Chain A
Amino acid sequence: MREPAFNVLWLQSGGCGGCSMSLLCADTSDFRGQLRQAGINLLWHPSLSLETGQDVQQLMADCLSGKTVLHALCLEGSVLRGPEGTGRFHLLAGTQEPMMTWVQRLSAVAKHVLAIGSCAAFGGITAGGSNPTDACGLQYEGDQAGGLLGSNWRSAAGLPVINIAGCPTHPGWVIETLAALAQEQGLQAEQLDGLNRPRFYSDKLVHHGCTRNEYYEYKASAEAPGDLGCMMENRGCKGTQAHADCNVRLWNGEGSCIRGGYACISCTEPGFEEPGHRFDQTPKVAGIPIGLPTDMHKAWFVALASLSKSATPKRVKLNATSSHIVVAPVIKKTRLS
C-alpha cells in the first residue's frame, strides 16, 4: 500500500452535507482503506476528522503558509455571497470571517479545486427560488461561467474547477476523480466536458441502462406516481437529457431515481433547481414534450413516437399504468416443430 501523499481538505458551505453522507456510501468494505489505496490523505473533513476548533484553524493556516501542501480543496455546498456581497450568510464558525473568503484564499494555494455536488458546481438547490442568499458555484452561476472565482481562474495545476455535479453527487464520481488526480499523470483538460465535469461519468445519459427502456421504446407512459411506465411523456423525466451514468453505475447497491419510481430531475445539470415547470410534470406544446431527448430531431421523434405507440404490445401498455407487472411476457416455443 502506498503512503498517502495527496492532501485533501474538505469544506462545506451552502449545502446540506448530503454529498459527504453519500461519499460514505462508497461501494467498499473499507472506506479509509480505499482512500489510502488511492494515495489520498484526508487532511480534514467536517464529519470524519478528530480535529475541531483551534486545531482546524491551525491546519488551514498551515495550508495557506505552504507548510502543508494542499493538493486538493474540495468544497461541498454553494458559495453564499449575500447579503450584498459580504458573505455574512455563512461565517466560518470560530473565525468571524465569511466562508467565501476562506474558499478564495485556499483556492489560491490549492493545486486542484473540486466542486463537490451541484451546489458547489453551479449554485444548485440553494440558488433556487428568489435565491435569497445570492448562492453561486465556485466557477459557475447556473450555466454561466463566472461564479466565485471567475471564468478565467485556473488552479496551480492549470485546470479549471472540476465540477463533480449531482444532488447529491455519487461517491464513485468523487473517489475516482480524486484517485485520478492523485496519480502522477493526473487529469487532463480534455478529460473534462464543456461544463468541466469529469467525462467518465458525464459522457453518458441517465437514460442509458434505464430499466424502463421497453416502455420508452413504445412510448408506453406512466400516468400516476408509482406507475411502471416511461416517465418522460407525463411525469417530468429528463433521463434522456441528463448527463450521468446513474442507471449504469447505480446508487446504494441497486438504485437510481427512476428505479425508485420517480423522474430524473437532471440534478447533474446547471439550473436543475428551476426547471420552469412542476418537477413531476412534463411540459408540452400541442401534446409533444418540449424537452426532447438530447441529439434527437423533433420531427423524427414525433414520427417514431406515433409509430411505436401504434405498435405497443398490450402487455407493455397495461403494465405501464400499473404499480406491478400485471401481464407477464408470453412464453414462446423456440424449437422448430
Chain B
Amino acid sequence: MTRLLVGPFNRVEGDLEVRLEVAGGQVSQAWVNATMYRGFEQILQGKHPLDALVYVPRICGICSVTQSVAAARALAAACGVTPPPNGVLLTNLMLACENAADHLTHFYLFFMPDFSREVYADRAWHTQALQRFSTHSGEHARQAVAARQRWLQIMGTLGGKWPHTQSIVPGGSTRGISSSERYRLGAHVAEMRGFLERVLYAAPLEEVVALDSEAALAQWCIREPLRGDLRLFLAIAQDLGLENLGRGPDLTLSYGAFAQPDGSYTMAPGVWDGQSLHAPNIAQITEDARHAWLADGGSALPPSVGLTLPTMDKPEAYTWNKAPRLAGQVLETGALARQLADGQPLIRALWQRSRGNVLTRVLARSLELAQLVLLTEHTLRSIEPEASSCVDSRVPDHADVYGLCEAARGSLGHWLSIRDGRIANYQIIAPTSWNFSPRDRSGTPGALEAALVGAPVAEGDTTPVAVQHIVRSFDPCMVCTVH
C-alpha cells in the first residue's frame, strides 16, 4: 500500500488537495481537502442584511451571479417582496449567461486539456485532442475563450460587469433594458449559438437537446465521426471507458433551475434515486463538522442554526469543508442531477445503466449548455422592454429565511437569520460542499471520496490521470465550498 498527496490540483476553481491510499494498482481510499478558509459566514455577522449583496458574490469569481441570486432570494423572502416578471426574467438571463460560461470554461479550459497529455500519445485521437485542447496552442480552446469573452458582454450590459455584479437585488434587477438593447443582446446570443454549432456540436442546438436515447446518440456520433468536440469527447470516453470511472452516489439533488414569474421551474427540482423523483425536503438538510477544522456542534446541524468557528486542533479533521447530508444521505449535485430531475431521457437512460460517472457528468453538462443558450433566446423574447424590472425592499428586524438556486455545478443554498435588523447568522451550502464533502460522523465518505475508490494508478505515478478526470468531471469550485 502506498499513500499519495496530490496537489496543488489545478484547473479546478480554488485550492484542492487529494490524499490517496493506493493498493493493487488502484485507489483504495481517498480524502478530499479544501485547503483554504476565508470566513465569509463570520464576516457577514452583524452586517446590514442588504450588505450581503456586496459580500456574497465575492465568495466566488466563477459563479458570483449564482451567489447573488441565492442571497437575493433569501432577502426577498425576508422582505416579503416579489420581483416583477421582468426582474425575474433578467435575473434568469444573467444566471443562464454565467452558467453557460461556466460550462464552456469547464469543457475547454478545465476538463479536456487532460486528453492532450503525453500519457495518451499512443491513442488514435491524441493528435486531435492536442490540436483542439492543448493549453498553449489548442485551436478550439482559443476560440472558446474568445466566444466566452463575447458571450459575457451580455453581463456587461445587464449587470455592469462580471464577475461581482450587484444588479441582482431582492426586488429584481436594477438594470432594465430597452428594445434596442434587447436586439443587441440577441446578437450576442446568436454569436454563441454560432460558435457552439460550428465547434462544440457541429450540429444545430435543437438537434443536440433532442437526443433522447442511447441509440439516437450513437447514430448522431456515427453520422459524422469526430466532427465537433462533443463527438470527439464521446469517442475518447468510449476508448478510455470513462463510463466506468468515478461512480457517484446513487442519489442526486436539484433545487430546480430558472424559476419563472409564475413560480414554475424551467428545469424541475427533485431528488432522483434511479426509480423516482422526490421533492427535496429542505428541513432534512444538515451539515456535519466532525472532520472539518471547525467547531463541531455535537451533532450534525441544520444550516438555519449552523455554526462556523475555526477550531484547528481536531485530530480527526482534514478539510475546511463541512459534510452536508440530506436525511443523513450523501447526494451528488450538478448538471447531471438537474437533467435527471428534469427527466432528460438520454441522461436517464445512461443513468439506469451506469449511474453518475465521468461520462454522464460531462455529457449532461454539454447537453445543458445547448439548453441554456436556447433558454436565453426564449427569455429575451419574453422580456417586455421599458417595463419595470425592480421593486424596493424593506428589511424586517427579525427573520429566519433561506434562498435556493442552481449554480452551474449544482445546488446552492443560503440560510439567513436577522435579529434587530442585522445579520445574526449566515450559512452557505455550496454545490461542491456536497460533492467534495469529507466523511461525516458515521464515517461515510463524501461523493468524490467514494467516486475515487477503484481509480487506476500506474506504478510510480504521483498524479494519476484517472484521478484527475474524476475530480474535474465534477467541475469543482473550492472557494464556494469553504467560503
Q: Which residues of A contact B (CB under 8 A)?
A: 12-22, 24-33, 44, 46-57, 80, 83, 88-96, 99, 125-126, 128-133, 135, 167-168, 224-226, 246, 250-262, 265, 267, 278-280, 323-324
CB distance from A10 to the nearest CB of B (A): 11
B80: CB under 8 A from chain A? Answer: no
Complex-state Cα separation, A17 to B63, whole angstroms: 10
The interface residues of chain A lying within 8 Å CB-to-CB of B462 are 53-54
B102 and chain A: residue at smallest CB distance: A21
Centre residue among A17, A46, A126 by max chain B CB count within 10 A = A17
Whether B109 pairs with A47 at a CB distance below 8 angstroms is yes
Complex-state Cα separation, A67 to B231, whole angstroms: 42
B110 and chain A: residue at smallest CB distance: A47
Whether A16 pairs with B136 at a CB distance below 8 angstroms is no
Contact of A262 among B15, B17, B166, B389 (CB under 8 A): B166
B425: CB under 8 A from chain A? Answer: no
Contact of A80 among B11, B38, B153, B166 (CB under 8 A): B38
CB distance from A143 to the nearest CB of B (A): 19
Whether B39 pairs with A323 at a CB distance below 8 angstroms is no
Complex-state Cα separation, A323 to B7, whole angstroms: 49
24 contacts between A and B (CB under 8 A): A14-B36, A15-B479, A17-B60, A17-B61, A17-B479, A19-B61, A26-B149, A30-B146, A47-B10, A53-B9, A91-B35, A93-B8, A95-B8, A131-B39, A132-B39, A226-B389, A252-B157, A253-B153, A255-B156, A257-B160, A260-B165, A261-B173, A262-B166, A323-B390
Whether B152 pairs with A25 at a CB distance below 8 angstroms is yes
Complex-state Cα separation, A262 to B390, whole angstroms: 12
Complex-state Cα separation, A88 to B314, whole angstroms: 14
Stretch at the interface among B174-182, B299-307, B321-329, B438-446: B174-182
Known: A18-B164, A250-B156, A262-B167. 15 other contacts (CB 8 A): A20-B61, A21-B61, A21-B163, A52-B9, A80-B36, A89-B310, A93-B16, A95-B7, A125-B43, A132-B310, A133-B37, A135-B38, A251-B161, A252-B161, A253-B157
Instruction: Give residues of chain B (46-99) contacting chain A, Cβ–Cβ below 8 Å.
Output: 46-48, 50-51, 53-55, 58-62, 64
Known A129-B46, A254-B157: A324·B36 in contact at CB below 8 Å: no
CB distance from A202 to the nearest CB of B (A): 17
User: Top 9 A-B pairs ranked by shortest CB distance?
Assistant: A260-B160, A18-B61, A94-B7, A252-B156, A93-B7, A261-B174, A255-B156, A253-B153, A129-B43
Whether A56 pairs with B58 at a CB distance below 8 angstroms is no
A93 and chain B: residue at smallest CB distance: B7
B229: CB under 8 A from chain A? Answer: no
Whether A260 pairs with B463 at a CB distance below 8 angstroms is no
The interface residues of chain B lying within 8 Å CB-to-CB of A56 are 8, 10
Centre residue among A20, A24, A252, A279 by max chain B CB count within 10 A = A252
The interface residues of chain B lying within 8 Å CB-to-CB of A46 are 8, 10-11, 15
B356: CB under 8 A from chain A? Answer: no
CB distance from A24 to the nearest CB of B (A): 6
Known A13-B36, A18-B58, A168-B164: A50·B135 in contact at CB below 8 Å: yes
Contact of A168 among B61, B134, B148, B174 (CB under 8 A): B61
Contact of B13 among A17, A49, A261 (CB under 8 A): A17
The interface residues of chain B lying within 8 Å CB-to-CB of A88 are 312
CB distance from A201 to the nearest CB of B (A): 14
CB distance from B471 to the nearest CB of A (A): 10
A83 and chain B: residue at smallest CB distance: B312
Interface size class of B (residues with CB under 8 A): 35 or more
Whether B161 pairs with A257 at a CB distance below 8 angstroms is yes
Whether B156 pairs with A225 at a CB distance below 8 angstroms is no
A253 and chain B: residue at smallest CB distance: B153
B177 and chain A: residue at smallest CB distance: A324
Whether A323 pairs with B14 at a CB distance below 8 angstroms is no
Known A17-B62, A52-B463: A260·B117 in contact at CB below 8 Å: no
The interface residues of chain B lying within 8 Å CB-to-CB of A19 are 61
Whether B37 pairs with A90 at a CB distance below 8 angstroms is yes
Instruction: Give residues of chain B (103-162) contacting chain A, Cβ–Cβ below 8 Å.
Output: 105, 109-110, 113-114, 116-117, 134-137, 142, 145-146, 148-149, 152-153, 155-162
CB distance from A238 to the nearest CB of B (A): 12
Whether A323 pairs with B463 at a CB distance below 8 angstroms is no
CB distance from A63 to the nearest CB of B (A): 14
Centre residue among A44, A254, A260, A278 by max chain B CB count within 10 A = A260
Known A53-B9, A93-B9, A323-B389: A260·B159 in contact at CB below 8 Å: yes
CB distance from B352 to the nearest CB of A (A): 34
B249: CB under 8 A from chain A? Answer: no
The interface residues of chain B lying within 8 Å CB-to-CB of A26 are 149
B334: CB under 8 A from chain A? Answer: no
Whether A52 pairs with B468 at a CB distance below 8 angstroms is yes
Whether B136 pairs with A32 at a CB distance below 8 angstroms is yes
Complex-state Cα separation, A29 to B150, whole angstroms: 9
Whether B51 pairs with A225 at a CB distance below 8 angstroms is no
CB distance from A87 to the nearest CB of B (A): 11
Centre residue among B5, B15, B42, B169 by max chain A CB count within 10 A = B15
Whether B162 pairs with A252 at a CB distance below 8 angstroms is yes
Complex-state Cα separation, A229 to B166, whole angstroms: 17
CB distance from B286 to the nearest CB of A (A): 23
Contact of B51 among A251, A267, A278 (CB under 8 A): A278
CB distance from B402 to the nearest CB of A (A): 21
Contact of A15 among B33, B61, B137 (CB under 8 A): B61
Complex-state Cα separation, A129 to B159, whole angstroms: 26
The interface residues of chain B lying within 8 Å CB-to-CB of A47 are 10-11, 13, 109-110
Contact of A252 among B35, B116, B152, B166 (CB under 8 A): B152
CB distance from B158 to the nearest CB of A (A): 7
B86 and chain A: residue at smallest CB distance: A323
The interface residues of chain A lying within 8 Å CB-to-CB of B209 are none
The interface residues of chain B lying within 8 Å CB-to-CB of A132 are 39, 42-43, 310
A224 and chain B: residue at smallest CB distance: B392
Complex-state Cα separation, A53 to B4, whole angstroms: 11
Whether A278 pairs with B116 at a CB distance below 8 angstroms is no
Complex-state Cα separation, A225 to B43, whole angstroms: 25
Whether B58 pairs with A255 at a CB distance below 8 angstroms is no
The interface residues of chain A lying within 8 Å CB-to-CB of B59 are 16
Contact of A93 among B33, B172, B173, B174 (CB under 8 A): B33
CB distance from A215 to the nearest CB of B (A): 15
CB distance from A123 to the nearest CB of B (A): 11
Contact of B176 among A28, A91, A324 (CB under 8 A): A324
Contact of B160 among A22, A48, A261 (CB under 8 A): A261
Centre residue among B36, B64, B105, B479 by max chain A CB count within 10 A = B36
Known A53-B7, A258-B160: A29·B152 in contact at CB below 8 Å: no
